[in-house]
Amino acid sequence: MMKKTRRSVVAIVMGSDSDWPVMKKAFDTLQLLNVPCEVHVLSAHRTPKRMLEFAENARANGVKVIIAGAGGAAHLPGMIASATTIPVVGVPVHITKAAGLDALLSIVQMPAGVPVATVAIDNAQNAALLAGQILSVSDLSIAKRVEKKLSLLRKRAHQKVIRSQKSLQTLVRKSL
């Protein structure tokens, strides 16, 4: 019997497969959250027609959130956002000597009417968490898994600060 695949509710798109090492973090996080997703390479300047076709049909195809990553003159997230009303989360990818700042500014500086929710440079994990949070508004089972993952991450961050405080105090005591 053929394995039944669930319909993707998140699409992860990127300008090049060279973005994958960064964008994989979004894929891995969505797997952990058990959110069905699909992955595409689509370039705003190299395959503009394919990109538009994807964006225009995304809602009809069941996609509810799009995560779009690109580096350099990163117009992919904004171009996709201009052709759909599905929420778009942009991931600036660090690929040039500008250390991702070029992509960050390209993605975050969208004008009124074409919003792109932009995460930090290379932070594809946050893009997936944000997508999970958006979906959790209308899906209680995703909400539970997102809550579990967020509380785990926050607990770890909390413990790290406690450990840092202890080691800093030890260092300071030693230098007195």
Applying CB under 6 A, the residues found at the interface with ligand RP5 are: 14-16, 18-19, 43, 70-72, 93, 95
First to last CA, the chain: 71
At its nearest, how many Å lie between ligand RP5 and the CB of residue 73?
A: 7
| Exposed/middle/buried for residue 17 (C-beta within 10 Å: 0-12, 13-18, 19+) | exposed
State the residue for tokens 């809602």: 59
Which of residues 97 and 174 has its CB atom nearest to ligand RP5 in the complex?
97
Q: Which residue is nearest to ligand RP5 (CB)?
A: 15
Q: CA 54, CA 103: separation in Å to the nearest integer?
A: 22
Which of residues 33 and 119 has its CB atom nearest to ligand RP5 in the complex?
119
Which of residues 79 and 128 has its CB atom nearest to ligand RP5 in the complex?
79
At its nearest, how many Å lie between ligand RP5 and the CB of residue 49?
A: 16
Report residue 109 as tokens: 């500086």
At its nearest, how many Å lie between ligand RP5 and the CB of residue 104?
A: 13
Which of residues 22 and 135 has its CB atom nearest to ligand RP5 in the complex?
22
At its nearest, how many Å lie between ligand RP5 and the CB of residue 68?
A: 9
Beta strand residue intervals within 4-126, DSSP E: 10-14, 37-41, 65-71, 88-93, 117-118
